[in-house]
Amino acid sequence: MNSGDTAFVIVSAALVFIMTPGLGFFYGGLGRRKNVINNMMASVFILGLGMVLWFLFGYSLSFSGNTFGIIGSLKDFCLSSHAFDAVSPYADNLPFLVFVIFQMMFALITPAIITGAVAGRMKFKALFIFIAAWSFLVYYPLAHMVWGQGGLLGGDGLGSIDFAGGNVVHISSGVSGLILCLILGKRHGYERTSYRIHNIPFVVLGMALLWFGWFGFNAGSALGANALAGHAFMTTSLATAAGLLSWMLIDVVRKRKPNLINCCTGVVVGLVAITPGAGFVPVWASFIIGLSAGPVCYYGIMLVKRKLKFDDALDAFGCHGIGGIWGGLLTGIFADPSVNSATGWWFGNASQFFAQVGGILVSIVVAVVGTLVCVLITKAFTELRVSHRDELIGLDASQHGENAYPSFTGLD
């Protein structure tokens, strides 16, 4: 074990942790005033539920044993089969628990992303049950398939590469958010009322926390304080900056004015797109990935919403689903063998691109099927959607009995 690597990954885990409260601010600011507590609570409760489930079952099902390359085993139920100072089987430079902690933070932020797609209309009880079921049926299997030893999609299987969670985190949550919001239906008055973002400073604060935490998300995935971590930090920085600028440029061209909310969205899109390739692609390719992710997600959101006519309240699918798919495909093109152990199409290995396509398709299927099953499980206990009256008065009052702004008495 290496003390420097251990310290680095512990700090990285703390950075990834702050992303979930940061997402709460981001979603809270984007939503309506009457739903800000509910939007933020959707991230906060996952901090508790996700950690407990990870301790009990999550790590074991994701990283212990192997069952047909799809899921792990219960060998490490309650983390009971390793001494506290044991070496991690996934990184011999790290203690067992440090790797567990780092991966636990990914299991928190991922289901929180889904909640943006259903903001303003899903019962809190239903959301709680759904997220618990989704962790077992979608996240843990995908984490094992992509990163686990013997996983179906990783190096022991299809050969798809995913440095920090393009498939596991973003495609899974984005696609699940899309399916869930289609099942729930649109918010009342969605097509005839203008939508007002209620707190732009909250959005900027959330964006800043996400960007800050994402350095731990991507650089920490090197699992050591080394050159690869520095490389992932740089590719993350450049892609995100390019995503911000490309989205801002679209605003200037289309609307003649730069929009702060859209700049924040461009940041998130750049972060999502570089995640699968941060430790695989050269620095120059990260600029292309971030720059192209802006228009791909911008127009992808417009096109998909126009065709499917769905209400993805805070564009969870548009940013994370489309951005994750785009980033995964470009990783298959630009993966550089001089950076890491994968060679993309640009460097003469077309098979890596097709492995990425296969990995993305499997991830989509797992997310779709898993989400549908989770919906059935949730419906066995409660209705998915709040009543018309509860939606009109707001989920802060109807689901939590709280008001974020005591002087506020309206319905916005």
* pLDDT given at position 292: 97
* pLDDT given at position 189: 73
How far is it, in rounded angstroms, from Cα 405 to Cα 410? 11
* pLDDT given at position 191: 67
* pLDDT given at position 407: 67
pLDDT digits (tens, 9 = 90+) for 347-362: 999 999 999 999 999 9
Q: Residues of the chain whose pLDDT is less than 50? A: none
Q: State which amino acid sits at residue 64.
A: S
Could you tell me which of 321, 323, 246, 318 has the C-alpha nearest to residue 277?
Answer: 323
Q: Catalogue all structural domains in the chain, each as residue range(s) with its CATH number.
A: 3-69+86-400 (1.10.3430.10)
* pLDDT given at position 311: 82
Residue 191 makes CB contacts below 8 A (sequence gap 6+) with none
pLDDT digits (tens, 9 = 90+) for 279-309: 999 999 999 999 999 999 999 888 888 887 8
Kind and range of the H or E element at 250? helix 227-255
Positions of E strands within 146-291: none
pLDDT digits (tens, 9 = 90+) for 191-212: 665 567 889 999 999 999 999 9
